[in-house]
Amino acid sequence: MMIIKVGGGKQINWDHICQDIAGLKERLILVHGANWQMEEVSKKLGQKTRMITSPSGYTSRYTNKQTLGVLTMVYSGLVNKQIVAKLQALGVNAVGLSGVDGRVWEGEWKKVVLSREGSKVKTIRDNFQGKVTKVNDKLLKLLLENNYLPVLTIPAISFENQLINVDNDRAIAVMAKALGIKKLVILFEASGLLKDTGNQKSIIKNIQANKIEDYLKYAQGRMKKKILGAKEAVQAGVKIIYWADGRVKNPIKKALKGKGTVIK
Protein backbone atom coordinates (compact mmCIF):
# COMPACT_ATOMS: atom_id res chain seq x y z
CA MET A 1 0.00 0.00 0.00
CA MET A 2 1.18 3.53 -0.66
CA ILE A 3 0.25 7.17 -0.33
CA ILE A 4 0.43 9.33 -3.44
CA LYS A 5 0.54 13.05 -2.74
CA VAL A 6 0.12 15.54 -5.54
CA GLY A 7 0.96 19.22 -5.18
CA GLY A 8 -1.35 22.05 -6.11
CA GLY A 9 0.65 23.64 -8.93
CA LYS A 10 -0.92 24.82 -12.16
CA GLN A 11 1.23 22.62 -14.41
CA ILE A 12 0.32 19.38 -12.61
CA ASN A 13 -1.26 17.08 -15.19
CA TRP A 14 -4.20 15.33 -13.55
CA ASP A 15 -5.11 13.40 -16.69
CA HIS A 16 -1.72 11.69 -16.67
CA ILE A 17 -1.84 11.11 -12.93
CA CYS A 18 -5.33 9.57 -12.98
CA GLN A 19 -4.40 7.38 -15.96
CA ASP A 20 -1.48 5.99 -13.99
CA ILE A 21 -3.59 5.45 -10.88
CA ALA A 22 -6.18 3.52 -12.90
CA GLY A 23 -3.42 1.14 -13.99
CA LEU A 24 -2.02 0.46 -10.52
CA LYS A 25 -2.81 -2.81 -8.78
CA GLU A 26 -1.60 -1.66 -5.38
CA ARG A 27 -3.97 -0.12 -2.83
CA LEU A 28 -3.40 3.55 -2.27
CA ILE A 29 -4.57 6.77 -0.68
CA LEU A 30 -4.43 9.91 -2.81
CA VAL A 31 -3.73 13.26 -1.14
CA HIS A 32 -3.93 16.47 -3.13
CA GLY A 33 -3.27 20.19 -2.94
CA ALA A 34 -5.11 22.94 -4.83
CA ASN A 35 -2.87 25.96 -4.48
CA TRP A 36 -3.29 27.52 -7.89
CA GLN A 37 -7.06 27.17 -7.92
CA MET A 38 -7.02 28.72 -4.42
CA GLU A 39 -5.04 31.67 -5.82
CA GLU A 40 -7.50 32.05 -8.70
CA VAL A 41 -10.60 32.04 -6.52
CA SER A 42 -8.98 34.30 -3.90
CA LYS A 43 -8.12 36.79 -6.64
CA LYS A 44 -11.70 36.77 -7.95
CA LEU A 45 -12.95 37.32 -4.40
CA GLY A 46 -10.49 40.16 -3.92
CA GLN A 47 -8.69 38.37 -1.09
CA LYS A 48 -4.94 38.75 -0.88
CA THR A 49 -2.69 35.80 -0.16
CA ARG A 50 -0.24 36.45 2.62
CA MET A 51 2.49 33.98 3.44
CA ILE A 52 4.03 33.89 6.87
CA THR A 53 7.48 32.63 7.78
CA SER A 54 7.96 30.93 11.11
CA PRO A 55 10.99 31.92 13.21
CA SER A 56 12.59 28.61 12.13
CA GLY A 57 12.19 29.57 8.46
CA TYR A 58 9.18 27.55 7.23
CA THR A 59 6.58 29.36 5.15
CA SER A 60 2.83 28.77 5.30
CA ARG A 61 -0.35 30.46 4.19
CA TYR A 62 -1.69 33.01 6.64
CA THR A 63 -5.13 31.57 7.38
CA ASN A 64 -7.72 33.84 8.89
CA LYS A 65 -11.44 32.99 8.99
CA GLN A 66 -11.97 34.20 5.40
CA THR A 67 -9.01 32.29 4.01
CA LEU A 68 -10.20 29.17 5.82
CA GLY A 69 -13.59 29.50 4.11
CA VAL A 70 -12.08 29.83 0.64
CA LEU A 71 -9.65 27.02 1.32
CA THR A 72 -12.47 24.71 2.42
CA MET A 73 -14.45 25.55 -0.74
CA VAL A 74 -11.58 25.12 -3.16
CA TYR A 75 -9.72 22.15 -1.71
CA SER A 76 -12.48 19.92 -0.30
CA GLY A 77 -15.14 21.11 -2.78
CA LEU A 78 -14.11 22.21 -6.25
CA VAL A 79 -10.80 20.41 -6.73
CA ASN A 80 -11.55 17.29 -4.68
CA LYS A 81 -14.75 16.55 -6.61
CA GLN A 82 -13.11 17.24 -9.98
CA ILE A 83 -10.40 14.70 -9.20
CA VAL A 84 -12.95 12.16 -7.96
CA ALA A 85 -14.98 12.56 -11.19
CA LYS A 86 -11.82 12.13 -13.29
CA LEU A 87 -10.98 8.89 -11.47
CA GLN A 88 -14.58 7.67 -11.69
CA ALA A 89 -14.43 8.21 -15.45
CA LEU A 90 -11.53 5.74 -15.53
CA GLY A 91 -13.40 3.15 -13.50
CA VAL A 92 -11.68 3.91 -10.20
CA ASN A 93 -14.21 4.02 -7.37
CA ALA A 94 -12.90 7.17 -5.70
CA VAL A 95 -14.39 8.79 -2.59
CA GLY A 96 -13.38 12.33 -1.74
CA LEU A 97 -12.83 13.24 1.88
CA SER A 98 -11.49 16.14 3.88
CA GLY A 99 -9.69 15.59 7.15
CA VAL A 100 -12.91 16.61 8.89
CA ASP A 101 -14.94 13.64 7.60
CA GLY A 102 -14.84 10.87 10.15
CA ARG A 103 -12.19 13.04 11.92
CA VAL A 104 -9.65 11.37 9.62
CA TRP A 105 -7.10 14.14 10.16
CA GLU A 106 -7.24 15.45 13.70
CA GLY A 107 -4.85 17.82 15.37
CA GLU A 108 -3.84 20.91 17.26
CA TRP A 109 -5.19 24.32 16.41
CA LYS A 110 -2.39 26.89 16.73
CA LYS A 111 -4.49 29.87 17.75
CA VAL A 112 -1.42 32.09 17.91
CA VAL A 113 1.59 31.85 15.59
CA LEU A 114 4.75 33.84 15.21
CA SER A 115 5.73 35.40 11.92
CA ARG A 116 9.19 36.69 11.05
CA GLU A 117 8.95 39.88 9.08
CA GLY A 118 12.38 41.29 8.28
CA SER A 119 14.19 41.54 11.59
CA LYS A 120 10.96 41.55 13.62
CA VAL A 121 8.86 38.68 14.92
CA LYS A 122 5.13 39.41 14.96
CA THR A 123 2.35 37.62 16.80
CA ILE A 124 -0.62 36.57 14.66
CA ARG A 125 -3.80 35.84 16.56
CA ASP A 126 -6.69 35.24 14.14
CA ASN A 127 -5.07 32.08 12.92
CA PHE A 128 -6.69 28.85 11.75
CA GLN A 129 -3.59 26.84 11.04
CA GLY A 130 -2.83 23.68 12.90
CA LYS A 131 -0.98 20.42 12.76
CA VAL A 132 -2.27 16.88 12.32
CA THR A 133 -1.16 14.74 15.25
CA LYS A 134 -3.79 11.99 15.16
CA VAL A 135 -5.11 9.98 12.22
CA ASN A 136 -8.36 8.13 12.72
CA ASP A 137 -7.63 5.28 10.38
CA LYS A 138 -10.91 3.37 10.84
CA LEU A 139 -12.74 5.10 8.00
CA LEU A 140 -9.74 4.88 5.66
CA LYS A 141 -9.34 1.16 6.35
CA LEU A 142 -13.06 0.56 5.84
CA LEU A 143 -12.95 2.27 2.44
CA LEU A 144 -9.72 0.60 1.32
CA GLU A 145 -10.91 -2.86 2.34
CA ASN A 146 -14.01 -2.32 0.24
CA ASN A 147 -12.02 -1.22 -2.82
CA TYR A 148 -12.70 2.49 -2.63
CA LEU A 149 -9.87 4.90 -3.27
CA PRO A 150 -9.85 7.67 -0.63
CA VAL A 151 -9.00 11.08 -2.10
CA LEU A 152 -7.99 13.25 0.82
CA THR A 153 -7.35 16.93 1.30
CA ILE A 154 -7.50 19.78 3.80
CA PRO A 155 -9.07 21.11 6.00
CA ALA A 156 -8.44 18.95 9.06
CA ILE A 157 -10.39 19.13 12.33
CA SER A 158 -8.94 20.31 15.62
CA PHE A 159 -9.51 18.59 18.97
CA GLU A 160 -11.97 21.46 19.69
CA ASN A 161 -13.82 20.68 16.41
CA GLN A 162 -12.57 23.73 14.54
CA LEU A 163 -11.75 23.36 10.84
CA ILE A 164 -8.01 24.00 10.47
CA ASN A 165 -5.52 24.47 7.67
CA VAL A 166 -2.71 21.96 7.96
CA ASP A 167 0.32 20.97 5.96
CA ASN A 168 -0.45 17.99 3.71
CA ASP A 169 3.14 16.75 3.62
CA ARG A 170 3.37 16.55 7.37
CA ALA A 171 -0.13 15.04 7.73
CA ILE A 172 0.98 12.23 5.43
CA ALA A 173 3.74 11.24 7.83
CA VAL A 174 1.20 10.79 10.65
CA MET A 175 -1.12 8.89 8.32
CA ALA A 176 1.66 6.58 7.12
CA LYS A 177 2.42 5.69 10.72
CA ALA A 178 -1.23 5.04 11.63
CA LEU A 179 -1.71 2.75 8.63
CA GLY A 180 1.76 1.18 8.58
CA ILE A 181 2.43 2.50 5.08
CA LYS A 182 6.05 2.21 3.94
CA LYS A 183 5.98 3.89 0.54
CA LEU A 184 5.21 7.48 -0.49
CA VAL A 185 5.08 9.06 -3.93
CA ILE A 186 5.20 12.86 -3.89
CA LEU A 187 4.52 14.61 -7.21
CA PHE A 188 5.18 18.29 -7.84
CA GLU A 189 6.24 20.79 -10.51
CA ALA A 190 9.88 19.81 -10.77
CA SER A 191 11.73 16.75 -11.92
CA GLY A 192 12.93 16.04 -8.36
CA LEU A 193 14.98 17.82 -5.72
CA LEU A 194 17.34 19.92 -7.81
CA LYS A 195 20.93 20.94 -7.05
CA ASP A 196 20.32 23.99 -9.20
CA THR A 197 16.69 25.16 -9.30
CA GLY A 198 17.30 26.66 -12.73
CA ASN A 199 18.30 23.31 -14.18
CA GLN A 200 15.65 20.55 -14.30
CA LYS A 201 18.38 18.03 -15.12
CA SER A 202 20.34 18.64 -11.91
CA ILE A 203 18.26 16.05 -10.04
CA ILE A 204 19.64 14.72 -6.80
CA LYS A 205 18.94 11.07 -7.57
CA ASN A 206 19.41 9.45 -4.18
CA ILE A 207 19.17 10.65 -0.62
CA GLN A 208 19.97 8.55 2.39
CA ALA A 209 16.96 8.80 4.69
CA ASN A 210 18.99 9.60 7.79
CA LYS A 211 20.78 12.43 5.98
CA ILE A 212 17.71 14.18 4.62
CA GLU A 213 18.29 17.34 6.64
CA ASP A 214 21.62 17.88 4.90
CA TYR A 215 19.61 18.66 1.77
CA LEU A 216 17.73 21.60 3.29
CA LYS A 217 20.30 23.83 1.57
CA TYR A 218 18.89 22.85 -1.83
CA ALA A 219 15.28 23.48 -0.79
CA GLN A 220 13.47 26.73 -1.35
CA GLY A 221 10.06 27.88 -0.11
CA ARG A 222 7.52 25.04 0.02
CA MET A 223 10.24 22.47 -0.64
CA LYS A 224 11.55 22.99 2.89
CA LYS A 225 8.29 21.60 4.27
CA LYS A 226 8.60 18.58 2.01
CA ILE A 227 11.98 17.87 3.55
CA LEU A 228 10.51 18.25 7.02
CA GLY A 229 7.61 15.99 5.99
CA ALA A 230 10.02 13.40 4.58
CA LYS A 231 12.05 13.46 7.79
CA GLU A 232 8.89 12.92 9.83
CA ALA A 233 7.72 10.17 7.46
CA VAL A 234 11.00 8.31 7.86
CA GLN A 235 10.73 8.64 11.63
CA ALA A 236 7.18 7.26 11.29
CA GLY A 237 8.50 4.10 9.64
CA VAL A 238 8.31 4.97 5.92
CA LYS A 239 11.03 3.07 4.04
CA ILE A 240 11.02 4.79 0.66
CA ILE A 241 9.90 8.17 -0.66
CA TYR A 242 9.77 9.12 -4.33
CA TRP A 243 9.84 12.81 -5.22
CA ALA A 244 9.00 13.25 -8.87
CA ASP A 245 7.51 15.27 -11.68
CA GLY A 246 3.70 15.64 -11.75
CA ARG A 247 3.69 17.32 -15.16
CA VAL A 248 4.80 14.42 -17.36
CA LYS A 249 3.18 11.34 -18.89
CA ASN A 250 3.12 8.29 -16.61
CA PRO A 251 4.27 10.34 -13.64
CA ILE A 252 3.75 7.59 -11.06
CA LYS A 253 5.37 4.83 -13.12
CA LYS A 254 8.33 7.10 -13.76
CA ALA A 255 8.58 8.05 -10.09
CA LEU A 256 8.59 4.40 -9.05
CA LYS A 257 11.34 3.72 -11.61
CA GLY A 258 13.50 6.31 -9.87
CA LYS A 259 13.27 9.06 -12.49
CA GLY A 260 13.13 11.69 -9.74
CA THR A 261 14.67 11.80 -6.28
CA VAL A 262 14.56 8.64 -4.20
CA ILE A 263 14.88 8.85 -0.43
CA LYS A 264 15.53 5.61 1.40
Residues that bind a second copy (CB under 8 A): 41, 44-46, 69, 72-78, 80-82, 84-86, 88-89, 93-98, 100-103, 138-139, 142, 146, 148, 155, 157, 161-163
Q: Least Å distance between CB 88 and a second copy?
A: 6
Q: Least Å distance between CB 91 and a second copy?
A: 10
Q: Least Å distance between CB 192 and a second copy?
A: 32
**Closer by beta carbon to a second copy, 53 or else 162:** 162
Q: Residue 155, preceding bond cis, omega within 30 degrees? A: yes
**Max Cα–Cα distance, the chain, nearest Å:** 54
Q: Least Å distance between CB 162 and a second copy?
A: 7
Q: Least Å distance between CB 9 and a second copy?
A: 19
CA dihedral sign, ordered 76, 77, 80, 85: positive
Name beta bridge partners: 5. Answer: 31, 186
Q: Least Å distance between CB 142 and a second copy?
A: 6
On whether the CB atoms of residues 155 and 168 are closer than 8 A, the answer is: no
Would you call 2 helix, strand, or coil by DSSP?
strand
Would you call 80 helix, strand, or coil by DSSP?
helix
Which DSSP state fits 33? -
68-96 core/surface letters (b: 16 or more CB in 10 A; e: else): bebbbbbbbeebbeebbebbeeeebebbb
On whether the CB atoms of residues 101 and 150 are closer than 8 A, the answer is: no
**Closer by beta carbon to a second copy, 87 or else 194:** 87
**Closer by beta carbon to a second copy, 47 or else 202:** 47
**Closer by beta carbon to a second copy, 104 or else 174:** 104
| Residue 32, H or E segment | strand 28-32
Q: Least Å distance between CB 8 and a second copy?
A: 15
**Closer by beta carbon to a second copy, 34 or else 227:** 34
**Closer by beta carbon to a second copy, 13 or else 37:** 37
User: Which of 263, 261, 264, 225 lies closest to 245 in space, CA to CA?
Assistant: 261
**Closer by beta carbon to a second copy, 54 or else 161:** 161
